Every structure is written in C-alpha cells, then in structure tokens.
Amino acid sequence: MKRDLLKIDDLSKEEILDILNLADQLKYEQKHGIDHPHLKGKSLGMIFEKASTRTRVSFEVGMYQLGGNSLFLTDKDLQIGRGEPIEDTARVLSRFIQGIMIRTFSHEKAEKLAKYSSIPIINGLTDAEHPCQVLADLMTIRENKNILEGLKVAYIGDGNNMANSLMIGCLKIGMNFSIASPEAYTVSETYLNRAKELALKEGVNFTNTTSPLEAAKDADVLITDVWASMGHEKEVEERAKAFKGFQINKELLEVADSNVMVLHCLPAHRGEEITAEVLEEHADSIFDESENRLHAQKAVLVKLMK
C-alpha cells in the first residue's frame, strides 16, 4: 500500500524518529563519501507552483545522491497549466515515475493529487503545512541538544503552514510548545484543538498566547518565519503593523534558556521577524537547519519510494 506525506500528522511518533534516525545515517554516509543508491533507477516528479530555493535544490540533489533522478515541472510545463484536471495529471504521472513532490498553494490540490495517484506524494509546502521543513528542524534540534523529548520550543510569528506543522510535530514527539501570534493571525481552531489533544496525550505543556515574552520564557529553542508568506504580498504593510513586537531579538533571548537555540526556515527578512544581529549569532544552527532539509528529505524519499 502506498504512503503519502501530506502533513506531519500523517506520521506517528515512532515514524518521525525512524525518519530522523535514517536521516542521521544518510548524512553520515554522505559526509564520509559512502554511496547509498537506495533509489537507483527511480524518478521523482517535482511540481512547483511556488518559488523555491531550498526545496528544489535539496530534493533534486537528494534524488541524485540516492541514485535516482528528478524532473522539475511547473504549471507552465504541465497541462494542468492549461486546464487539465489534477486527477488526470496524477494518473498519467503515476504511469511514468515513482513519486511526486508538490509545492503549491492549495493543500486540497496536494490531497487530490494523492487521492488519484498510485505513487507516493510528498508535500514540499502548501498553504496549510510544511512537513519536510519540520523534520529538518527536529533533526537539527536533536543534533544540537542531543534530545527532543522534554525540550521547550517557542514559535514567534504568523500562525501559518510552518506554525501548523511545527506545533503538531513537536507536541507529537513529546516536546513542550508555545506559540505567540497576533490575535488575528493565530493558527486555526482545528490545529489548536489537535495541539491540545496531543499535549494531553504526551503529558507536555502547550501554550497559545499573544505575548512573545510569555511564549519565549525558558525556551530551549526559538523559531520564527516571515510575517508575510508567499501569497500575502499585498498584506505586507498591514502585517508589518500587526506583527510589531513579534520579533526574535536580544530582549526575547534574555527570557529564554541561557543556551537557547534559534532557528529560521528561511528566507529571512532581517529587521522584521528577526534582527540581523541575532540571525548572524545563530547562523551556524540556521544554516545547519537549511542543510538538513537535504538529509531529512532523503530519508522521507527512501521510506516512501524504496
């Protein structure tokens, strides 16, 4: 039976840890020049309807390192750009390739692609979720802190796709989680209710607040994202006013743990969601996080396509 990764909640706690362990192994092998052609002769179709740096390069290089190949496809390359239904595209591509990664706006489009395809579908980002990024984040945190369970992660900023996946992923793995967003930009009730359910199940703390200082108190990890994601370009000025004060800066670091780790999924807007000073001080971790997109996604590819 084929498996898809459309949202982080598609994975159990055990499956997340299994992916992270494989990602660590693949990273070690890659750093030491050990070949791992797990997907030799297999092809990944990569559908992009949103711009990308990390997602495109990491998946493309990842497939190459795994012995397979990838096809970069945009809506201008495919007939979906001329009105072909996604369900037909799904069934056609299923006859040619062994997996699809899609980076798009509508989460429903990714779900429909998965419904009508007979091959694994991986969410490279939708407006609702960003599961591959969160796997890379968890991998990076564990590399730095040696553990995951029991740590406190604080997310400061927009209740967007990144917040949704990060919140569910951290709580599912047994981490404490707090999120601070302006009231009009918090995560949806559906995700909040799921977060509360997971926190109760795992016996961890979950806080949803409008106070960045409250969220960041004693945090082991601080994470943020841009205030205006792709698709919200017309709201930049409005959001800049709403998110004033929702910035990772020296003041916020002072209330966090003394060994706090700072992460950002990038691209970063210095002077908005994070100061240039804090980003540069924590650049090693942030760019480790970026690199780990490659290793975590390779693990996902192997698990779903091998």
Q: How far apart are CA 172 and CA 131, in angstroms?
A: 13
Question: Which residue among 265, 282, 295, 297 is the active-site one?
Answer: 265
266 is in an annotated binding site: yes
Whether 265 sits among the annotated catalytic residues: the reply is: yes
Question: Residue 119, CB half-sphere, CA atoms under 13 Å: how many?
Answer: 22
225 is in an annotated binding site: yes
117 is in an annotated binding site: no
Whether 293 sits among the annotated catalytic residues: the reply is: yes
Q: How far apart are CA 272 and CA 294, in angstroms?
A: 27
Residue 45's contacts (CB-CB under 8 Å, 6 or more residues apart) are 70, 71, 73, 93, 96, 97, 99, 100, 101
Question: Which residue among 38, 65, 103, 220 is the active-site one?
Answer: 103
Whether 25 sits among the annotated catalytic residues: the reply is: no
Question: Which residue among 4, 127, 158, 225 is the active-site one?
Answer: 225
131 is in an annotated binding site: yes
Question: Which residue among 38, 107, 130, 194 is the active-site one?
Answer: 130
Length of the chain: 306
Question: CB of 101 within 8 A of CB of 45?
Answer: yes
Burial class (CB in 10 A: 0-12, 13-18, 19+), 183: exposed
Element (H, E) at 201: helix 189-202
Question: Which residue among 65, 98, 133, 247 is the active-site one?
Answer: 133
263 is in an annotated binding site: no
53 is in an annotated binding site: yes
161 is in an annotated binding site: yes
270 is in an annotated binding site: no
Whether 107 sits among the annotated catalytic residues: the reply is: no
1 is in an annotated binding site: no
The annotated binding site for carbamoyl phosphate is made up of 52-55, 79, 103, 130-133, 265-266, 293
List the catalytic residues: 103, 130, 133, 225, 265, 293
The annotated binding site for L-ornithine is made up of 161, 225, 229-230
The annotated binding site is made up of 52-55, 79, 103, 130-133, 161, 225, 229-230, 265-266, 293
